[in-house]
Amino acid sequence: MHVDSVRTASLGDTTYLLRHEGSVIVIDPQRDIDRFLDVMDGATVTHVLETHVHNDYVSGGRDLARRTGADLVMPAGSGVGFAFVPAFHREVLSGQSGLIIRPLHTPGHTPEHMSYLVLIDEQPHALFSGGSLLVGSAGRSDLLGIEYAEQLARLQYGSLQRLAELPDEVGLFPTHGEGSFCTSSGAGRFTSTIGQEKAGNPLYALADPEEFVASQLGGLTPYPAYYPYMAPINRTHPTAISSVKVPELAADEVASMLSHAGVLDGRGRFDFAAGHVPGSIGIETGDSFAPWAGWLFEFNAPLVLVLNDDQDAGAAAIELARIGFTNLLGVMYGVEDWRASGRELAAYETATAAQLAGRLHGRWTGQVLDVRDPLEWEAGHIEGSNHRYLPDLRGGVAGTVNARAPVWVVCRTGNRASIAAGLLERQGIQPIVVATGGVPDIIQ
**What integer is the mean pLDDT of 70-81?**
98
Does the pLDDT of residue 423 top 90, yes or no?
A: yes
| pLDDT tens by residue, 267-278 | 999 999 999 999
Which residues lie closer than 8 Å to 257 by C-beta, 6 or more apart? 249, 302, 304, 329
Using the Cα atoms of residue 28, residue 241, residue 419 and residue 426 in order, give the sign of their dihedral.
Answer: negative
pLDDT of residue 365: 86
Residue 364: per-residue pLDDT: 86
Q: Using 50, 70 and 90 to split pLDDT, how confident is the model at 243?
A: confident
* 108 phi and psi angles, rounded to 5 deg: 150, -50
Q: What is the mean predicted confidence (pLDDT) over 148-163? A: 98
Q: In a 3-state reduction of DSSP, which class is residue 313? A: helix
User: E strands, 232-388, where?
Assistant: 262-265, 281-282, 303-307, 328-333, 349-352, 367-370, 386-387
| Largest pairwise CA distance in the chain | 76
pLDDT of residue 42: 86
Buried-state track 111-137, b at ≥16 Cβ within 10 A, e below 16: bbbbbbbbbbeeebbbbbbbbbbbbbb
Stated as kind and residue range, the H or E segment containing 128 is: strand 123-130
Q: Where are the alpha helices (DSSP H) in 201-305?
A: 209-217, 227-236, 251-257, 269-274, 289-296
Mean pLDDT, rounded, for 105-123: 97
Query: Average pLDDT of 184-208?
Result: 88
Query: Measured between alpha carbons, how far is 290 from 322 in angstroms, rounded to an integer?
Result: 8
Count of alpha carbons within 13 angstroms of residue 411, beta-carbon side? 19
DSSP class of residue 152 equals: H
Question: Quick one: pLDDT band at residue 187, thresholds 50, 70, 90?
Answer: low
Q: Which domains does the chain have, with CATH numbers?
A: 2-236 (3.60.15.10), 251-340 (3.40.250.10), 349-443 (3.40.250.10)
Question: Are the C-beta atoms of 172 and 228 separated by less than 8 Å?
Answer: no
Model confidence at 165: pLDDT above 90: yes
DSSP structure string for 387-443 = E--GGGGGG--TTTS-TTS-EEEE-SSSHHHHHHHHHHHHTT--EEEEEES-HHHHH
- Rounded Cα gap, residues 417 and 411, in angstroms: 5
Instruction: Say if residue 397's pLDDT is above 80.
Output: yes
Q: Which residues have a Cβ under 8 Å from the Cβ of 143 and sit 6 or more positions away?
A: 55, 109, 110, 182, 223, 227
According to the model, what pLDDT value does residue 182 have?
67
Residue 187: strand, helix, or coil: coil
